[in-house]
């Protein structure tokens, strides 16, 4: 197939078969930077609630791993890369000792003209709730928790004093940086939207979506959950005019099979624009998940869609463009394949013999670098995922790649 030409591909999954317009497989790997899985920062000890995995033996004394990047931000003026760490080790139950944070990534991209290909990170800020806006007890208010080894983990004084938030308090999976320096985070426990200042301090009570409740929602009461566990705001993006946030759920609501709801939150009014979705995204297979949402222009967005496999068994890791032009509320969008992350051309042999695969179970960050280039990063689920190092049973590293598209985005 020639670069830039279209064909029609048929994707069939459980109870679903759709026709999709497809780009030629001409997207190209033009840069890669890798951060070793064993990347830690000083802090309270962590990993007290997880078992050994892939050669890693917890707990981690006086340090916390930099891992699980679930959202990516790029400031072209400052050339600054930020990554959002998710709730830690995968669940509320095992992440009470993991501090929620945003990190500054420092990639030295390997490209056709050089570069080490290495990446490091440092903490940009920790999330905290000094004024008690969460309105529920948090880890910082507790004394001790039972660890898996039968010993008690005592909440460190630094967490209690600063009211730092942990993976037992929120599960942030998406992030938007505003012009005033503040941040909005999309959470999965509520699901909620959480507003912080530039230093990660919560500024107001988290905003719930009208009528939506996840099983972990602290205000669930007698309501029946209609959002699947870990099915909240996996994707969130700022509208082109900066007037609103668009949040996309990771999983279908109860009874929706293969459709994901997107909701609009007005930054001017501080509220969701109704309880109906503004549009719906059709999964190519009901068992798939989305990993990220990013604005291209007033009507178009990038969406990462992935299967739940890794390594050689991975079959679907793709980025689509969806166009919302002219849609009424609740309408299902049409999507166009932009990049197949399992079939990237690598003519410079930067990280393969010519065809590069990004075979991670979770791929959750994408940004537009310029009209020809996007950047993508994996969530390595340290120490559990082994998409790249299955034979060695070594935890995945964090890989940040630059992908040149076969045609400009705008």
At 323 the pLDDT is 95
| Assigned domain for 7 exists | no
152 within domain boundaries:
yes
- Distance between CA atoms of 96 and 167, rounded to whole angstroms? 5
Confidence of residue 25 (pLDDT cuts 50, 70, 90): low
In a domain, 129, yes or no: yes
Number of domains, the chain: 1
Domain annotation covers residue 278: yes
Q: Is the pLDDT of residue 14 over 50?
A: no
275 or 62, higher pLDDT: 62
Q: How far apart are CA 95 and CA 81, in angstroms?
A: 25
Q: Is residue 138 part of a domain?
A: yes
Token digits of residue 322: 């969806």
Domain that includes residue 45, residue range: 13-404
262/246 Cα distance (integer angstroms): 6
> Considering the domain boundaries, does residue 124 fall inside one?
yes
- In the chain, % helix, strand, coil (3-state, to 5) comes to 5, 45, 55
226-236 b/e with 16+ CB inside 10 Å = b? ebbebbbbbbb
39-73 pLDDT, tens per residue? 999 999 999 999 999 999 999 999 999 999 999 99
d(CA 384, CA 393): 9
Domain annotation covers residue 267: yes
Q: pLDDT tens digits for 182-236? A: 999 999 999 999 999 999 999 999 999 999 999 999 999 998 999 999 999 999 9
Residue 392, pLDDT score? 81
- What digits encode the pLDDT tens for the residues 101-115? 999 999 999 999 999
- Is the separation of the CB atoms in 291 and 316 below 8 Å? no
Percent of the chain exceeding pLDDT 90 equals 87
**2 within domain boundaries:** no
Q: What is residue 329's predicted lDDT score, i.e. its pLDDT? A: 76
Residue 370 has pLDDT above 50, yes or no: yes
Which pLDDT tens digit goes with each residue over 321-339? Answer: 999 998 877 799 999 999 9
Instruction: Give the alpha-carbon dihedral of 233, 235, 240, 241, to 10 degrees.
Output: 10
Asked whether residue 77 carries a pLDDT value surpassing 80, the answer given is yes
pLDDT reported for residue 15: 35
Q: What are phi and psi of 161, to 5 degrees?
A: -65, -45
**Which pLDDT tens digit goes with each residue over 133-153?**
999 999 999 999 988 777 889
Please state, in angstroms and rounded to a whole number, the distance separating the CA atoms of residues 247 and 210.
Answer: 13
Overall average pLDDT of the 277-298 stretch: 96
Mean pLDDT (the chain, rounded): 92
The enclosing domain of 230 has a CATH number of 2.115.10
């Amino acid at each position: 197939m020639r670069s830039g030409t279209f064909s029609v591909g048929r994707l069939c999954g459980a109870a679903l078969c759709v026709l999709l317009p497809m780009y030629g497989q001409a997207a190209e790997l033009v840069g890669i930077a890798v951060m070793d899985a064993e990347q830690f920062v000083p802090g309270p000890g962590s990993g007290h609630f997880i078992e050994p995995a892939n050669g890693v033996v917890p707990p981690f004394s006086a340090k916390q791993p930099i891992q699980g990047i679930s959202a990516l931000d790029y400031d072209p003026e400052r050339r600054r890369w930020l990554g959002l760490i998710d709730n830690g080790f995968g669940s509320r139950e095992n992440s009470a000792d993991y501090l929620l944070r945003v990190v500054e990534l420092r990639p030295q991209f390997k490209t056709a003209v050089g570069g080490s290909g290495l990446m490091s990170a440092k903490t940009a800020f920790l999330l905290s709730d000094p004024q008690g806006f969460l309105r529920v007890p948090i880890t910082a208010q507790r004394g001790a928790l039972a660890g898996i080894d039968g010993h008690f983990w005592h909440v460190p004084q630094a967490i209690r004093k600063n009211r730092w938030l942990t993976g037992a308090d929120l599960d942030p999976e998406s992030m938007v940086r505003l012009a005033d320096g503040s941040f909005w985070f999309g959470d999965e426990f509520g699901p909620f939207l959480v507003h912080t200042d530039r230093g990660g301090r919560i500024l107001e009570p988290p905003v719930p979506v009208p009528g939506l409740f996840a099983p972990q929602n602290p205000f669930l009461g007698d309501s029946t959950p209609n959002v699947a566990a870990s099915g909240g705001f996996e994707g969130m993006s700022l509208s082109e005019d900066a007037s609103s946030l668009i949040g996309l759920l990771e999983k279908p609501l109860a009874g929706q099979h293969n459709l994901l709801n997107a909701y609009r939150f007005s930054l001017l009014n501080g509220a969701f624009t109704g309880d109906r979705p503004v549009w719906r995204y059709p999964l190519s297979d009901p068992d798939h998940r989305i990993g990220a949402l990013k604005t291209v222009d007033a009507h178009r967005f990038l969406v990462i869609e992935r299967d739940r496999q890794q390594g050689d068994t991975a079959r679907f890791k793709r980025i689509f463009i969806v166009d919302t032009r002219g849609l009424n509320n609740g309408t299902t969008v049409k999507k166009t394949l932009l990049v197949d992350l399992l079939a990237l051309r690598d003519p410079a042999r930067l990280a393969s013999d010519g065809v590069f695969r990004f075979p991670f179970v979770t791929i959750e960050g994408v940004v537009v670098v310029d009209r020809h280039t996007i950047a993508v990063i994996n969530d390595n689920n340290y120490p559990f995922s082994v998409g790249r190092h299955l034979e060695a049973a070594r935890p995945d590293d964090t890989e940040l790649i630059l992908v040149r598209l076969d045609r400009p985005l705008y």
